Structure 1
């Protein structure tokens, strides 16, 4: 009875206040890390601000405790928007105080990039200490967990975030949707999904950290890379996977854990035996494997077909290194993590291409799996558009043909295709709008388009590749207006356009 009463009391505190409290408490992590490395000033800043913000959040929780909203799902969606726009302001306070010589807008945009799992940075890597890099990774890791839980507890009931396609597919097949938290109460669904997803997310992060440390990385850099891999933020302490100390063994471990951004099968309530049984039939995994395999092989073959005049390695070892460098980088950008392999330079030399930015942009646009930490359009939506195109071509060739058998049962219904098409068009319009807005601030068209795609797909390293890293050459050179536009685009890309449209729908507020 006491547990039930306590649960009722907890549910009366707004979700945004709970998230603010968790973020405040997490400031003790970099505080402890700074003390261990004898950076006592940084430790004091994080400890004091963590304590102050935790106290203020507690006071707000007491003052804002109230009866449950008449539409809890709507209030949760509003809280999710608030978390992506307001919490970065809290997270930016210690960063701004430690750096001292930067402006608040830079610290805020940096934290928006972290919490939206976009990554990228306004600062040169050497300007930030390991503690500040760890804080960026911690914020990004929490942002990834937030989106995993929100996908099940908030977006799924609203048929947003790609669930509009998965639901239509499951209903067409006549299969039961066993991966959903089966409860009509949004509060219970939120807590239950956190209890299911949170431990798995933490265990996977710890396992990758152990692998990277065993492979030769320092513990701090290993935990940063582990958190950034699971959250697909791409945040790193120095130069990503290049010269990370773990070598190709570390890259292989990261490659394996990036697969969790392709499909959400690891974060469901099913037994592990059932998950492994369904793994070969997972459509998103098959699509990702086809993309990674085909792109890697095509770039490898280009060495003989189109780039014979390029001075490149022709031995078997060079070919294998080029193949691995391409495969790792392709999967990294497909999951919107944005890391380059140590052998990516070898792969570019082998294929005769300098930096195939168009290829990387296309991979990021495809994105990862539904209800994962990856951004982009999502593989299942891409598949829905492909399947519909194939269906229309079949009708053109055989206008009176009748489909039957297993193929007809597995085809997507028009409801799922229409939802995927609407999202794709809104996504394209978003790229155009953000590109235009950035161009108005003085950014060149090419850079504006790359910045728009990097923000809307939550692949910040794209901007680093195109513009450079650091205040002298990269995102830090943008005007304040351009930085705010880029930050807004990151929030839009993380929350997705359909969710924002739902917030502006009058019927959504009446109900």
Structure 2
């Protein structure tokens, strides 16, 4: 029988830790004098008490490691439980906000999707703005740990090819997770502080700089304004583009960098090179398209193309322009850009560049086998042959990814949404990008007008996409609970 005590113990500790982080928005609102600080005091007390009691009740099951089944369950339940408590401040602070909307906002924050149901964000109290930023910041560092420790161990989506780079766990998942988390925390905090500093230099107010730095490094996309980045200035846009790119790189390379290995691992990583080549090509194509439509050949046109391509490709979801007005080609291009993603082991989301590299290598090898039936052609990555197991895992991920978008799109259509809203909403949720397409959920709108059923479908889709799909699907099988 599956022992749930170790899972409950870890989840209880994480819930209590989430409650402790509510001190920051409590202090922010107390200083601002908005009168909303009791919301975070009450939310923090509830969250810490519940998390602490769960941890205490499950403490008898503490072990030095987790089994594979327990790890699958933990990675899913954490991202399902934390939004429940993350939603409490929204429920208590915003009059008339339903539990569905509060949960959607918290799930969007912790999965770093960036879709929002809130309007009038400009006038929200400082505590709530900071809380939205904290949710995404915690979700960003959390998904790095999951991608570097848990998913390689669980062999999800081909992530096992990074096991040696992500400090081989050797079955001792929890101790290794703590070690890796401490290493990447230094880098994560450092990038956040550097981003906030440069935002301030570019003209942002200190509070806005801190919150936007959190959501930028997390590639989350929650902004303090309904217009997102549309009116924040050129310096802010370039700063955001730079740090979105940095956050989309493998954090294990930063660990190696500060460990004294120099920049060689960064420069030699084929995934990083491919990521920058793809991003540069897409920016140039989109800029050329806008110029061909009659837009002036100006720095502004290039900057808007750069910012929005980087934002959608990394899954951040900020918008500095309504790209729905850029014509059908640009809108179609934006849709598919969101299905690319950043690098494995980063805060970025979606398919990830390394999977496309493996897919194209497999196609190339198959074409060569057709030409030379007696030849031996292996799929290679970073100069090393890729095992059939890893390759099959990647192929399964691609299939599951497309099926998940299709099923989610159909479910959204059944709730009464039109085709564009349904398919783009499904894609943006599974890929954790943020804005969809169309007037309702596009860059100039939000998800507040959707019906409750659609919001729950999208909330679950965000969770499934954030955990690389297969990790969630596995625990839904009968075999998982039997053996």
TM over 0.5: yes
Q: Which of 489, 494, 497 is 2:461 aligned to? A: 489
- Give, in whole Å, the separation in 2 of the partners of 1:287 and 1:240: 29
Compute the displacement of 1:118 (Å).
0.6
Match of 1:331 in 2: 310
Compute the displacement of 1:436 (Å).
0.7
> Is 1:500 aligned to 2:472, yes or no?
yes
Match of 2:296 in 1: 313
Q: What secondary structure does 1:156 align onto?
A: helix
When Rg is computed on C-alpha atoms for both structures, the one with the higher figure is: 1
- Give, in whole Å, the separation in 1 of the partners of 2:188 and 2:279: 25
> Is 1:37 aligned to 2:23, yes or no?
no
Give structure 1 stretches of 5+ with no counterpart. 1-9, 168-176
> Is 1:289 aligned to 2:261, yes or no?
no
Q: 1:483 to 1:127 in 2, by over 3 A?
A: farther
- Give, in whole Å, the separation in 2 of the partners of 1:59 and 1:80: 20
Q: 1:426 to 1:154 in 2, by over 3 A?
A: same
- Give, in whole Å, the separation in 2 of the partners of 1:230 and 1:73: 30
Give structure 2 stretches of 5+ with no counterpart. none
Q: What secondary structure does 1:157 align onto?
A: helix
Match of 2:59 in 1: 65
Q: 1:232 to 1:418 in 2, by over 3 A?
A: same
Q: Which of 238, 250, 261 is 2:236 aligned to? A: 250
Q: Which of 68, 88, 95 is 1:93 aligned to? A: 88
- The RMSD of aligned alpha carbons is 2.9
Q: 1:272 to 1:45 in 2, by over 3 A?
A: same
CA deviation digits over 1:232-267, x for unaligned, max 9?
1111000222222xx333333322222231323345
> Is 1:381 aligned to 2:368, yes or no?
no
> Is 1:368 aligned to 2:362, yes or no?
no
Q: 1:279 to 1:474 in 2, by over 3 A?
A: closer
Matches within 5 A, 1:411-490: 412-462=386-436, 467-468=441-442, 474-490=446-462
Q: 1:214 to 1:504 in 2, by over 3 A?
A: same
Q: 1:127 to 1:324 in 2, by over 3 A?
A: closer
Deviates more, 1:425-434 or 1:292-301: 292-301
Q: 1:162 to 1:142 in 2, by over 3 A?
A: farther
Matches within 5 A, 1:85-484: 85-124=80-119, 125-126=121-122, 128-166=124-162, 177-238=164-225, 239-244=227-232, 247-258=233-244, 259-268=246-255, 271-302=258-289, 307=292, 310-314=293-297, 318=298, 320-341=299-320, 353=327, 356-399=330-373, 410=384, 412-462=386-436, 467-468=441-442, 474-484=446-456
Q: 1:156 to 1:437 in 2, by over 3 A?
A: same
Q: 1:507 to 1:440 in 2, by over 3 A?
A: closer
> Between Structure 1 and Structure 2, how many residues are aligned?
474
Compute the displacement of 1:286 (Å).
1.3
> Is 1:56 aligned to 2:20, yes or no?
no
Q: 1:136 to 1:156 in 2, by over 3 A?
A: same
Compute the displacement of 1:117 (Å).
0.7
Q: 1:94 to 1:348 in 2, by over 3 A?
A: closer
Q: 1:223 to 1:464 in 2, by over 3 A?
A: farther
Match of 1:7 in 2: none
Return the TM-score normalized by structure 2.
0.89
Return the TM-score normalized by structure 1.
0.85
Compute the displacement of 1:474 (Å).
3.6
Compute the displacement of 1:272 (Å).
4.6
